Amino acid sequence: MTRPLPSAVVSDLSEIVGRRHVITDPDRLLVYESDGLTAYRIPPRAVVLPASTEEISAVVEVLHRKGVAVIPRGAGTGLSGGALSTPGGVIVGMARMNRILTIDPENRIARAQPGVINAHLTEATSPYGLYYPPDPSSQSACTLGGNVAENSGGPHCLKYGVTARYVTGLTVVLAGGRVMQLGGVGRDPYTTLDLVGLFVGSEGCFGIATEIEIRLLPITEGVRTLLGIFESVESAGRAVTKIIASGLMPAAVEIVDGPTIQAVEASVFAAGYPLEAGAALVIEFDGTEAGLDLDADRAEGYCLEEGAIEVQRATDPEHRTKLWRARKKAFGAMGRIAPDLLVQDATVPRTKLPEVLAGIDDIGSRYGLKIANVFHAGDGNLHPNILFDRQNQKELELVERASKEIMQLCVDAGGTITGEHGVGLDKREYMTLVYGPAELQAMAAAKQVFDPDSLFNPGKVLPEVEGAELGVAMKASTVS
């Protein structure tokens, strides 16, 4: 049972943000006890919802003075348990930090608060002919702050790169409530070390991003979307390798495998894919209208060479939405065929996709688990989704063992344990698959530079070493 916050602390926080925005009622706290990774649940002691950098700074000051850990939280769509509380921790939510502060079309930058929903930024900048490229599949719900913390990707990051490429400056609140400015367009990016680059991807463990300066790109003139249907995921994987190696620069290359197609077709999201298909490959080209058909012709040729049963091409928005449907609705559809879904995330060199996918299939059969793959194939970023029932303790254990084997398989193929969802709570123990003690120690020491007492999101990302938190002791709350 989580201890409630002492009333003096509650009243200090209420003075800063208003009593309405300090949530302590256990029923209302339930919403915050997990994130997109539903396997874990830890209720926070309280949730505070500030509305400005100043308020965040003051809130952090109060909590850190009492030695209470702060867990930043965006929309809670994270899939690695990053926004989960620690016992004794208080969640600082970004729900009221939802304003776009400036849009500067001349310099193609925007400044926004971290609670702004990813898709809202592009909605706001499109009248200027500009957009924000990173497009996580959760973009209608997840926040820019969460994207910064996870260095999120998305289908179109194949051509355009992930969040880090677009974050040019940050206002951050660090330990004790200290406000700092990092980077910013218009200054030499290397007047000092790349602190913005280091903060991006720090999973809420360094501090809270309270304002984000973001680079925008001009909206592209045209789009071509192809949907290739294949007999097997291996042949779809080979088509991907061929397309990438040929010198084409698709904006997105995504694969949906047979089990996923079956789940989608059985759901309200049915997209009309053939049920017997082993895989569907979505390929998109964007850019200057002239030339797109040529690219699409070449990609179509490679798909057919690798045995595609059929290839459809969309030029209008409606048809494009239809071709994307199975990809976009995959997670939702899977939710309907199993009570629980573990969305795994790992990256392998693109050329290793066929052998790794075969290996994952084998792991699924050995454990008797249903695994459906939906993934960013162009980047080699896999999402093996394990379907299970959390109430079945035995199955839960099998899921954990299968997950670990999948991670090992990806690492052995020259890959890594997460491509975009982060380490969070879920993958801490896998960190030793990719890093040795020296690297982990250096990461712990880098965190300490920003957060010396480990009061931001403790217990995440870095593994426990011989029972102790790496580098820094996890401080027990001093509030009695």
Partner 1 sequence: MRVDPADSLSEILPAEAFGHSVPASLSAALRTDVESVVAPGSPEEVAALLRWASKTAVGVVPVGTGAHTYPRYPSDPFVVLTTSRLTEIGHYEPADLTLTASAGARVGDLSTAMAVHGQWLPFDPPDVPNRTLGGLVAAGLSGPLWAGYGQLRNHVLGATVVCGDGRVLKLGGRVVKNVAGFDILKPMVGSRGDLAVITSLTVRLFPLPAVDRLLIVEASDISELVSTARAIATAPVMPASIVLSSTSVGGRLLVRLHGVSDSVGADQRRLEEHTSVSFDIRNVYELGDLLEGERDRDITGEFAVRLWALPSRIDELLVAVGQIPGVNLTADVYGGSVRVYLPDNLSDIKSVLMRLREDVENLGGTIRALRVPAEVDAFSYFTKPLVDERELATGLKQVFDPHGVLWRVE
Residues 421-480 that bind partner 1 (CB under 8 A): 421-423, 427, 431, 434-436, 438-440, 442-443, 445-450, 461-462
Closest residue to ligand FAD: CB criterion: 146
435 binds, among partner 1, ligand FAD, none (CB under 5 to 8 A by kind): partner 1
Residue 136 or 237: the one with the smaller Cβ distance to ligand FAD is 136
363 binds, among partner 1, ligand FAD, none (CB under 5 to 8 A by kind): none
Half-sphere exposure of 370 (CA within 13 A, CB side): 16
Residue 138 or 232: the one with the smaller Cβ distance to ligand FAD is 138
- Residue ranges in 38-77 that form contacts with partner 1 under rule CB under 8 A: none
Residue 181 burial (10 A CB sphere; 0-12, 13-18, 19+): exposed
Residue 169 binding ligand FAD, by CB under 6 A: no
State the binding string over 106-145 for partner 1 (x if CB under 8 A, else -). Answer: xxx--------------------x----------------
Q: How far is the CB of 247 from partner 1 (least distance, A)?
A: 3
Binder of partner 1 out of 150, 213, 254, 257 (CB under 8 A):
150
Residue 235 or 347: the one with the smaller Cβ distance to ligand FAD is 347
State the binding string over 197-216 for ligand FAD (x if CB under 6 A, else -). Answer: ------xx---xx-------
**Contact region with ligand FAD (CB under 6 A), list: 21-29, 140-148, 189-197, 352-360:** 140-148
Look-up of token digits 């100043």: 54
Cα 146 to Cα 202, 422, 440, 446: the distances in Å are: 10, 11, 23, 20
Residue 87 binding partner 1, by CB under 8 A: no
Residue 69 or 279: the one with the smaller Cβ distance to ligand FAD is 69
Binder of ligand FAD out of 43, 50, 74, 250 (CB under 6 A):
74
- Residue ranges in 355-414 that form contacts with ligand FAD under rule CB under 6 A: none
Q: How far is the CB of 289 from partner 1 (least distance, A)?
A: 7
414 binds, among partner 1, ligand FAD, none (CB under 5 to 8 A by kind): partner 1
- Residue ranges in 160-219 that form contacts with partner 1 under rule CB under 8 A: 161-162, 164-165, 180-183, 185-195, 197-198, 200-203, 205-206, 217-219
The count of other CB atoms within 10 Å of the CB of residue 305 is: 12
204 binds, among partner 1, ligand FAD, none (CB under 5 to 8 A by kind): ligand FAD
**Contact region with ligand FAD (CB under 6 A), list: 65-73, 219-227, 245-253, 386-394:** 65-73
Residue 232 binding ligand FAD, by CB under 6 A: no
Q: How far is the CB of 70 from partner 1 (least distance, A)?
A: 18
Residue 43 or 72: the one with the smaller Cβ distance to ligand FAD is 72
- Residue ranges in 92-121 that form contacts with ligand FAD under rule CB under 6 A: 94, 114
Angle at 171 between CA 169 and CA 172, to 5 degrees: 125
Binding footprint of ligand FAD on the chain (CB under 6 A): 35-36, 71-79, 82-83, 94, 114, 136-138, 142-143, 145-147, 149-150, 152-154, 203-204, 208-209, 331, 420-421, 457
